[in-house]
Amino acid sequence: MLCAQHALNSLLQGHYFTAPDLSAIAHSLDALEHTYDEDTRGGTSTNMDDTGFFSVQVLENALQVWGLSLVRWRSEAMRPYQDHPHTQLAFILNQSQHWYTLRRFGRVSPNPSLDADPGDGHWFNLNSSLPAPERIGSYIWACSCTKPKPKGTPSLP
């Protein structure tokens, strides 16, 4: 599977993370969790599984190396941007235990203010299950982010 590895590398646009890198992060998180809950010692990992799936905590810790963080889309911190998702640089999404990245390319303002960045550029779905990156329109993307989600629809972290 290794979709988390692909989602992170697609976000960063390079081969920065390997499966062993993410496994090491998962093991360190498991060890930390075991110090708080003795009942989980020796049990199965809650941060990775045999299919190559990694938890959101693994992705968050991996991005810290780059000074980046995952911010939940529906969080208070993102509320000012929820009517303007097209002004963001990227999203990592999870649908049915599959991680993938939606990323904007093109002209981007270094100022995250809504007034400074009109959201120009082109959005691409960099899903590893697709044969190639898929261009998506910012209007369609904005509409899909702001309306309520039917069951089974991908949700933003």
Which residues are tagged catalytic? 3, 98, 127
- Token pair of 74 as six digits: 């529906």
Distance of alpha carbon 146 from its chain centroid, rounded? 18
Largest CA distance in the chain: 52
- Token pair of 24 as six digits: 């090491």
> Are 6 and 128 contacting, i.e. CB atoms less than 8 angstroms apart?
yes
Per-residue 3-state assignment (H helix, E strand, C coil) for 37-55: CHHHCCCCCCCECCCCCEC
Q: Which of 101, 85, 80, 75 has its CA nearest to residue 143?
A: 85
DSSP class per residue in 64-90: HTTT-----TTSGGGGGGTT-GGGSSE
